[in-house]
Amino acid sequence: MELDKPGHVTQMRLVFAAANRHRMAIVVHVRPNIDHGRAWGEKQARIFLESVLPQAKDIVVQIAHLASAGRYEDEGVDKALDVFVAAIAAKDPRMKRVYFDVSVAAGKSKREQLQRQLRAIGMERLLYASDSPPPSALKAFRQLPLSEEELGRIETNVAPYLR
């Protein structure tokens, strides 16, 4: 999917609307890959927030990989995440049932920024998840610039669709 292509957005809206009608949670890779050099940042996140999320107003949407495939340091990732952080801070109703899975680590240059974003999202919206081998993924996750209490909260959160 490419959020810069209106046809792709239309198809995503249809999928999200169908999931909403059938009360099916969605786990979405809003940036599905890094291999094709596609733009990812504020513009694409805003398109997702404004055009796609409204179709899923009654269901849980889990945004995979903290809003990006790839590394947190990749260009545009922090700007994309800022769109969602701002919407949460504004109590945007489109974000009411949105969760993020997280297992990322950040380099030293962006650790404080990531910490601010995670805290602004709220520990209750963060789910530990990884598609990396468990020992190395957990070790990387534990390097996040959060307190032991915050890390523990994320590790024990359960997605609403699994409760």
pLDDT tens-digit series, residues 23-37: 999 999 888 666 777
- Asked whether residue 39 is domain-assigned, the answer is yes
Whether 118 is in a domain gets the answer yes
* Beta-bridge partners for 101: 127
Distance from C-alpha of 85 to C-alpha of 107, rounded to nearest angstrom: 20
Contacts with 126 (C-beta within 8 Å, 6 or more apart), sequence order = 99, 100, 101, 102, 118, 153, 154, 157
Q: In what order do the strands lie in the sheet with 61-63?
A: 26-28, 61-63, 98-102, 126-128
Q: What is the pLDDT of residue 130?
A: 67
What is the pLDDT, as a whole number, of residue 53? 98
In Å, how far are 81, 90, 106, 135, 149 from 87, measured between CA atoms?
10, 5, 23, 34, 25
Go through the chain and tell me how many residues it has. Answer: 163
Backbone angles phi, psi at 142, to 5 degrees: -70, -5
Give the mean model confidence (pLDDT) for residues 86-96.
98
On whether residue 83 sits in a domain, the answer given is: yes
Residue 25 lies in a domain: yes
- Output DSSP code: residue 27: E
The whole-number pLDDT of residue 76 equals: 82
| Residue 26 placed within a domain | yes
Mean pLDDT calculated for residue range 120-146: 83
pLDDT at 62: 95
Is the confidence at residue 133, as pLDDT, over 70? no
Residue 66 pLDDT > 90: no
pLDDT of residue 70: 65
Q: Yes or no: say if 55 and 16 are a contact pair by the CB < 8 Å rule.
A: yes
pLDDT at 107: 66
Residue 1 lies in a domain: no
Residue 137 lies inside a defined structural domain of this protein: yes
pTM: 0.91
**The domain containing residue 153 runs over which residues?**
6-162
Q: Which of 65-69, 102-106, 117-121, 152-156 has the lowest mean pLDDT?
A: 102-106
Structure confidence at residue 120 (pLDDT): 97
* Total domains present in the chain: 1
pLDDT over 70 percentage in the chain: 89
Residues of the chain above pLDDT 90, percent: 60
Q: Which whole number is the average pLDDT over 55-74?
A: 85
**What is the pLDDT at residue 106?**
64
